Amino acid sequence: MISKVLIIGLDGATFDIIKPWIEKGELPTLKNLMKEGVHGDLRSTIPPLTPPAWTSLVTGKNPGKHNIFDFFKLNRNNYDRAIVTSLDKKSESLWNILNKENIKTGILNLPFTYPPEKINGFIVCGSEAISIKSDFTYPKDLRKELLEKIKGYRQGLNWSYINREDHDNFIKDLNIVTEKLEETSCYLIKRYKPGFFMVVFDDLDRLQHFFWRHMDEKHPMYDKKESKRYKDAILNYYKKLDLVINNLIKLTDKNTLIMIVSDHGFGPTYKEIYINYYLKNLNLLRLKKEKKLQKSLLKKIGITKENLIYLSNSYKLNKLIRNIPYKLKVFLNSNINSSKLNDSNIDWSGTKAYFFSHSGRGIMINLKKRQINGTVNEGKEYDVIRDLIINELKKIKDNTTGKKLIKNISKREEIYKGPYKGNSPDLIVEMEEGYIAQEGIGKEPIMPSKQGSAYKSADHRMNGIFIAKGPNIIKNKKIRNANILDITPTLLYLLNIPIPRDMDGRILKEIISDYNLKKLKYAKPYNSEEIKISSAVKSIDY
C-alpha cells in the first residue's frame, strides 16, 4: 500500500550519458533505484520543451488540452511574443485531483507554476518568479518563512555568469543553488509532511546546454584547453544530484512511491538551420528594403552579431572574442544589429509565413483573421501554404553530408488534440539529431552551432528518463514506450483514484506487479465551468 509519493524531476536528464556513468559506478543512488524498480526512456512532448513537457507530465494531457506549447504565445496586437505563465494553463493538474481525495500536496520549483495557485498544501515557484520579492509561494506567508528558515535562500542561477561565460563562478553558483533547493526540500517535507511531494532540479538543463561541448571532441565549439578544466562538469553535477536524491530518499519510508523523471532528453547540436532563410527564398517572407535595415554603421560595413559568431569559429578569433571585457560585450550585444527578425526588419504586408520561436520550433502563418497585419486567408490559401512549406522544407539537405535536416514537419492538428490546439503554431518542425532550428535569417542557411550570445552547444531531445520504485512496482526491469503523458494516470491508478476520461496517457501496466483491471476506475472529464460554479457557490456572501 502506497502511503506517500516523492517525485524528483531532473530537467533534461538523459540515459545516453547516465547509463555509461552508472556502469562505471559513478551514480550509485540511481543505480540502486533502477535495480530495485523499473526504468526506461520517457518520450517527451513535441516539441521536447520544458513548458509543454512538464505541464503534460502533471496533467496527463497533450498541449491541445492544457494550452501550454512554448515559453511564448502570439501577441495579437503586434508581432512581439508574450510570455506564457501558469495563468495560461487550461487543465487541472495532478495536485488538484489529489487534493479532492484529501491528499496534501507540495510542489517545489516545478516550471510553469508561477503565479502559484491555491491548493491544499503548498507551491513554491522557482526562477520564473523572477525575484524573491514577488509572491512566489502559496500560501503567501510561506515566502517569509522560507526566507527566514533557509539562510541565503536562492530562487535560481545568477544569469550574469552565463552571459559572461564565467564558467568557474557559474559552477560555484550552480552548486549553491542546488544545495539550497535540497535544503528547502528537506525543510518542507519535514515541516509539512505532504502526502505528495514533487521537486524539480531545473539547472541541470542549463549546465548541459552550455557545457556539453567540453565533453565532446567532435563539437565545433570544443576547445582542448577549456575542455581539460570542464570536461567533467556535467558528470560532477550528476554525481551531486545522485547524492541529493539519496538524501531525499532518506526522508521516505518503504511505503513511499519514488519516481525520478525528466521532461526531455539532451544531446549535442553541431549545426543551426535558419528556417526563415528558406521561407524568404520561397517568397513567403519579405524583408524591408535593405536601406532601412542597414541603419547602423557596423552593419553597413558588414558586421552583425551572427557574422562575428560565424567568424569566431576560428580558434584564435574565438579566444579573442571571449576575452572582450564584459561591459564591451554587453555594449556590442545591444548595438550591433542582429539579423534576427523583429518588427523592424520584416515587411509583414509581404510575409505569409515566419519561424515563430526557436524554443517552440513552430512556423506561424500570417493569417488575416489572427495577426494584426495578416496576409493569408483561412481555408484554401492557408492549406496550400502549409503544404508548400512542408514539401519544400522536407527536401533540404546538409550539402556537406548529403543528409536530410528535418526529421518531420507536422500540421498542428496532426500532433495536438483538444480545444486549445488552435493556439499552437501552424506547423511544428522536428530536426534531425545534431541540428537545431534557429531564429533570424542567417548569413548562410546552415551554420556551425553557436547560438547567439548564449553559446549553447547542446539542446533537447525526445527521450527523457523514467525510474520508479515502491510498493507494487516491479523490480529490476527495463521498460519501453513510456510517454510523459503516462505519469499522471499511472500514479492515479497506483493510488486507487479514478482517472479522468479526458487524459491522453495510459497506465504503465508493465511496471505494476499486481495490475488488476477490476481496480481501474474512471472519473468524468475535467470541466472548468463545473469548477467555477462550485467555487462561485462557495463564495456567495450571505
Partner 1 sequence: MLDSNITTISIPKVLADKIKKRMEGTGFNSVSSYVVYILRQVISNIEKDGKEDNKREAFSEKDEENVKKRLKSLGYL
Restricting to residues 13-32, name those near partner 1 by CB under 8 A: none
Stretch that binds partner 1, among 260-268, 300-308, 356-364, 491-499 (CB under 8 A): 356-364
Q: Which residue in the set 104, 115, 318, 330 belongs to the binding site for partner 1 (CB under 8 A)?
A: 115
- Torsional sign, CA 322, 324, 328, 334: negative
- For partner 1, give the closer residue by CB, 41 or 272: 272
Q: By CB under 8 A, which span of 310-318, 354-362, 474-482, 495-503 interacts with partner 1? A: 354-362
Angle between helices 167-192 and 233-249 (to 10 degrees): 10
Q: Which of 15, 95, 114, 170 binds partner 1 (CB under 8 A)?
A: 114
Cα 463 versus chain centre, distance: 13
Task: Assess 532 for contact with partner 1 (CB under 8 A).
Answer: yes
Q: Please state the length of the chain.
A: 542
Which one among 29, 184, 451, 488 touches partner 1, defined by CB under 8 A?
Answer: 451
Binding mask 62-81 for partner 1 (x = CB under 8 A): ---------x----------
Is residue 337 near partner 1 by the rule CB under 8 A? no
Query: Which residue, 317 or 454, has its beta carbon nearer to partner 1?
Result: 454
Q: What angle do CA 276, 280, 284 make, to 5 degrees?
A: 100
The count of other CB atoms within 10 Å of the CB of residue 496 is 12
Rule CB under 8 A: is residue 127 a binding residue for partner 1?
A: yes
> Contact at 8 Å (CB) between 367 and 354?
no
User: Applying CB under 8 A, does 359 fall inside the site for partner 1?
Assistant: yes
Q: Tell me the window of 312-320, 477-485, 505-513, 532-540 that interacts with partner 1 (CB under 8 A).
A: 532-540
> What whole-number distance in Å separates Cα of residue 225 and Cα of residue 268?
19
Least separation, in Å, of the C-beta of 514 and partner 1? 41
User: Which burial class, exposed, middle or buried, applies to 473 when counting CB atoms under 10 A from its CB (0-12, 13-18, 19+)?
Assistant: buried
Rounded (10°) angle between helices 167-192 and 203-211? 160
Is residue 130 part of the contact set for partner 1 (CB under 8 A)? yes
Does position 452 bind partner 1 by CB under 8 A? yes
Return the number of the residue (10 or 494) whose C-beta is nearest partner 1: 10
Which one of the spans 60-68, 183-191, 351-359, 467-475 is the region binding partner 1 (CB under 8 A)? 351-359
Choices 102-110, 321-329, 401-409, 533-541 (CB under 8 A): range interacting with partner 1: 533-541
- Compute the least distance from the CB of residue 26 to partner 1, in Å: 27
Angstrom distance (rounded) from CA 307 to CA 301 = 11
Our finding on whether 86 is near partner 1 (CB under 8 A) is: yes
* CA–CA gap between residue 491 and residue 397 (Å, rounded): 43
536 binds partner 1, rule: CB under 8 A: yes
Cis before 471 (ω within 30): no
Is residue 134 involved in binding partner 1 (CB under 8 A)? yes
Nearer to partner 1, 83 or 317 (CB): 83
Radius of gyration of the chain (CA): 24
Of 15 and 212, CB closest to partner 1: 212
Cα gap 43→32, rounded to integer Å: 23
d(CA 407, CA 341): 24
Please check whether residue 234 is in contact with residue 174, taking contact to mean a CB–CB distance below 8 angstroms.
no
- If the CB atoms of residues 1 and 87 are measured against partner 1, the closer one turns out to be 87
Q: How many CA atoms lie within 13 A of 42 on its CB side?
A: 31
Among 209, 213, 361, 421, binds partner 1 (CB under 8 A): 209
Q: According to the binding rule CB under 8 A, does residue 331 interact with partner 1? A: no
DSSP of 204-263 = HHHHHHHHGGGG-TTSTT--HHHHHHHTTHHHHHHHHHHHHHHHHHTTS-TTEEEEEE-S
Cell 539550497 appears where? 180
Sites for partner 1 among residues 145-184 (CB under 8 A):
159, 162-163
Helix%, strand%, coil% for the chain, nearest 5 = 40, 20, 40
DSSP 6: E
Q: Is the CB of residue 458 less than 8 Å from the CB of residue 267?
A: yes
How far apart CA 511 and CA 50 sit, in angstroms, is 25
Among 1, 24, 118, 131, binds partner 1 (CB under 8 A): 131
By CB under 8 A, which span of 27-35, 89-97, 472-480, 528-536 interacts with partner 1?
Answer: 528-536
Count of residues that bind partner 1 according to CB under 8 A: 33
Q: Is 357 in the site for partner 1 (CB under 8 A)?
A: yes
CB of 340 to partner 1, least distance (A): 9
**Does the footprint of partner 1 cover residue 307 (CB under 8 A)?**
no
CA separation for the pair 425, 73 (Å, rounded): 9
Give min distance, CB of 214 to partner 1, in A: 17
- Binding positions for partner 1, rule: CB under 8 A: 71, 83, 85-87, 114-115, 127-128, 130-131, 134, 159, 162-163, 206, 209, 357-359, 451-456, 532-533, 535-537, 539-540
